[in-house]
Structure 1
Amino acid sequence: MDRDGGNWLTGLGFGMLTCNSVLAIYRSKEDAWSVAFVVSAYFALLFLFWCLRLYERTAPNVAQRWKLKVAIWSLSTFLTAIFSYKVAKLMPRPVDLIVWGMAVSVICGGFYAFFIHHDHQ
């Protein structure tokens, strides 16, 4: 995709994310924990996409790239944990354990892929 086409599409995506977040906050304005969930997820996603963009633009052997990897993995872990918590809370106990098991496997897999596995290109 060309850069100009990507820019409006990215803006549309962030606009929809913002609109959905505002609507979710409005619908759950009586529940402070739900509002905190939506706000924290929204800002974590924004920061994650910003870090990913910086990571893509940073040269491979720059020290800042390591810090960006840590930030990306941390934000991904945070988002995985809070979404898993919300889903697991609605499920019966056996399914709850499966949800948390999948979350842990994703978090550990991301850690392995980012910090242990070295891609030899």
Structure 2
Amino acid sequence: MDEALIKEPANQPSPKNHDGHWPSLLTVVGFVFLTFNSAMGVYRSNGDIGAISFVVFSYLDLVVLFYFLRRFERTPPESPRREHIKMAVWLLTTMLTTAFSYKVAEIMPFPVQLLVWAMAGVSVLGGFYAFFLYQEGTKA
């Protein structure tokens, strides 16, 4: 069983739909749910520019992140574009982590703010290590 796992490539392109272009129904439902919740967040913000900016930024960041993740899945493993797409994915997740950490830390007492920012920093650095520094099969 272990040999079968070793021989199987780590990154396989996602299965394509009948035409290879349109996303699955579950993806469309998730996107509609995200759009509805973002619109409700803007509606309930009562004109607060900071809240609207946060919702719009988070929404756009997530949409672009999902786009690049889909491109990453469909890009062949030997393609040099994969590294550029990985960089875009890491930057988008870093921006989203920073935005959410800012909003959470804003309402917390100072010691918890330090913890929130420390956790965000560990997440960002861990993602950088996993994406760009870690080499599978080597010992660090």
TM-score by length of 2: 0.80
RMSD between aligned residues: 1.7
Percent of pairs with identical residues: 47
Partner of 2:35: 18
Are 2:84 and 1:67 equivalent residues in the alignment? yes
Q: Which has the higher contact order (CA 8 A, sep 6+)?
A: 2
Larger radius of gyration: 2
| Cα displacement string for residues 49-103 of structure 1 (whole angstroms, at most 9, x for unaligned residues) | 1100100110111111111000000000000000000000010000110000000
**Deviation, structure 1 residue 10:** 1.0
**Where do 5+ consecutive residues of structure 1 fail to align?**
none
1:12-51 Cα distance to aligned partner (Å, 9 max, x none) = 1111100000000011141111111100110100000110
Provide the aligned length of Structure 1 versus Structure 2.
119
Structure 1 range deviating more: 58-67 or 71-80: 58-67
Q: Distance in 2 between matches of 1:8 and 1:61?
A: 29
- Per-residue deviation at 1:3? 6.4
Q: Please, what TM-score do these two structures have when normalized by structure 1?
A: 0.93
Relative to its length, the structure with more helix (as a share) is 1
Label 1:49 to 1:110 Cα distance change in 2 as closer, same or farther (>3 A): same
1:50 aligned residue:
67
